[in-house]
Amino acid sequence: MKRRDAIRVGALSLAATLITDTISAAAVNLENSSILDEHPAADGEYNFIIAGAGSAGAVLASRLSENKNWNILLIEAGKDFDPEANPEKIYSSNIIAANLDPRYDWGYKSVEQQYGNVITAPRGKGVGGSSNINGAVAGRALKFDFKRWTSLGLKGWTFDDVLPYYKKMESTEHGDDQWHGRTGPFPIHQMTMDYITPAQKAVVETALAMGYQKVDDFNNPENNNGAGPVPMNVVNGVRVNVGIAYLSSEVRKRNNLQILSDSLIDKIIFENKEAKGVLLANGTKLFGKQIILSSGTYGSAGILMRSGVGPAEDLKKLAIDLVLNAPVGKRLLDHPFYWMNFAAVPEKNTEIHPVVGAQLWTNSSRATSAEEMDIAISPSHLVDPSLSPTGSLFTLGLELMNCVSEGSFKLASKDPAVMPLIDFQHLTAEDDMLRMIECFKLARKMVGVAPLKDFFHSELYPGKQVQTDAEIRKALLSGVSTLQHPCSTIPMGKEGTKNAVVDEQGRVYGLKNLRVVDASIFPEIPLINLNPTVIMTAEKIADQIKKG
C-alpha cells in the first residue's frame, strides 16, 4: 500500500479492526430477563417501553421514571455497563469510535459511493449509545438552526423554547448564567488554551492572526463565530456518556425502572394501527401502553420499517406487511468530513492528548449570514504518527456543517441481523461541494500562516499534487467520510408535508401510542455535533409527556 493511501486508511478506520457485515443474532440473550421477573410490570404491561438506551433513551428513562406511578422498561441491544466502571474504549476521551470494536460499535458501512468508496459509519452499541464513542464535543445547535426548524411550521422549537432544556441538562462552571445550567446531570467542561495541544493551540492562534475572532464559549449564541477551545463532556479524561450521566447508580435503584440489555428488537407489535408492544429478535413479546423508539437514526428507522411503517414499495419488495405508508428513510442527512494529514515538525508537535480540543467554526462566502456557520476546521491527533516521515503528524478535519445533499436509508432484509443500506450521497449537491472546496483552501492557507506553519513539514494527504479545483473536487469525493452525525430519517414536520413522519412531540402520524425521540426526528441537520441537541430533545419531550 502506498504511504498516502495508508494514511487515509489509518484516518478512516483508526485501527485494523475487522467489522462484520451482519449483526449476529446470537448476540441477543435473555439472561437479563430475570430483571423483568424481579420487577414485573402491572398486569404484564409497562407504561412506557423505550427502545434503545442511547443519548435519547437514557434521558427518557431517567426522566419518565421520576414519576413513581409509571413502570418504565428500557431495552438495549448492546451491553449494559456499570456507570462507575465503563470499559476503557468507552470512558477514554482519547479513543474515538471505540477503535471500531464490535462489542461497542454496530459496524455499519455505507453502500458504494460515487468513487466506489465504502464509508465506515460508527454508531455506539450499549447503554449510552453513540455518546459512548463520540468525540465528546458538547456544542449546542445555533439560533439559525431553530429558525430553520420553525420555518417549517413546527411549534415549540424556537431557540427560546429549547434553551431551558439545554440548561436543564447541563452542569458547568463556565459562561454566563443566561446561557448555562449549573446543576444538570450532564457535565460540560470548557477547554482552555492551557489544556489543548500545541498544534491545536497553533490552529487557534493562526486563525486569530488571519482575522477571525477568539471564542471563549461556543455555546454563547451571541459570540460563537471564530476559533477557540471547545466545550466537552469530559471530566479528568473520562468521556461522561449519557449512560453515566442519566442512569447513575441512584437512578438505577428506582423500582419502577428496568433495563433489559443484550436484547435486539425486531419490530413493534401493532393492533389496528395502535402500538401494543415490541417483539424481540428471539421471539419474546413485551407489552406497553406507550412505545418510544430511541434507537438512533438507523436503528429507529429500521424498526419502523420491519414493523410495516415505511415506503410501501420498499416494504413490498421485502415481503413486509404494510401498516402505514410513510417516508421513513427517504431523507438521510449527515455532516461530510474530510481528513487533511500533515507531517509535523516533532520539536513543535510535542503533545497529542487531548486528541480533539479546538476548532475554527465560521461561515463560508456562500453563507447567507454570519450566523450561518457552515464550515469548520478541527485539528486532531487521531492518525498514527508512524505514517509520517518525521514520525510526527497532525490532522486538520474539514467539516461541512450546513449541507443540502440528501442520502437515504433502506433495509436490505426484514431480518434484524442483516445490515441496512446506508447511502450518504455526501457532496453530491453542487452548493455543498463549493463550500467544501472553500474549506479545503482555507485549511491549506492556514498551514502557511504562523504559528501553524512552524509545525508544518509537508502535506501527506491528499498531497501537494492536488491543486486545481477539479483535482480538489475529485479528492473530496473519493475521500469524503462521515462526521458521524446522521439524522433526519424520521423527521418532524406538519402532517401531510413532504418527508414528515412525526409531529413536534415525536408522535408518529397515523398511528397511536408510538413516538420516536432521537436524532432521526430532526427536520434539518444542526450546524454542529448532534449529541447535546439529542439530549435536549429528549429532555423537552419527556417534560411534555409528564405534563400530559
Average model confidence (pLDDT) across the chain? 94
- Domain CATH number, residue 249: 3.50.50.60
Read off φ and ψ for residue 90, nearest 5 degrees. -100, -45
Residue 3 has pLDDT above 50, yes or no: no
Write the DSSP symbol of residue 137: B
What's the whole-number mean pLDDT along residues 509-533?
A: 99
**Quick check: 218 and 373 in contact, CB under 8 A?**
no
Q: Which domain holds residue 417?
A: 3-547
Q: pLDDT digits over 317-337, tens only?
A: 999 999 999 999 999 999 999
Q: pLDDT digits over 15-65, tens only?
A: 333 222 322 222 333 344 444 554 456 566 899 999 999 999 999 999 999
pLDDT value for 268: 99
Confidence of residue 300 (pLDDT cuts 50, 70, 90): very high
pLDDT value for 511: 99
CB atoms within 10 A of CB 197: 22
Read off φ and ψ for residue 144, nearest 5 degrees. -55, -40
Compute the chain's Rg from CA coordinates. Answer: 22
- The tally of domains found in the chain comes to 1
CA distance 70 to 433: 49
Residue 76 has pLDDT above 80, yes or no: yes
CA distance 240 to 247: 11
pLDDT value for 30: 35
**Quick check: 538 and 166 in contact, CB under 8 A?**
no
pLDDT value for 43: 61
Which residues are CB-neighbours of 520 under 8 A, at least 6 positions away?
296, 297, 300, 301, 487, 488, 489, 490, 491
Residue 519 has pLDDT above 90, yes or no: yes
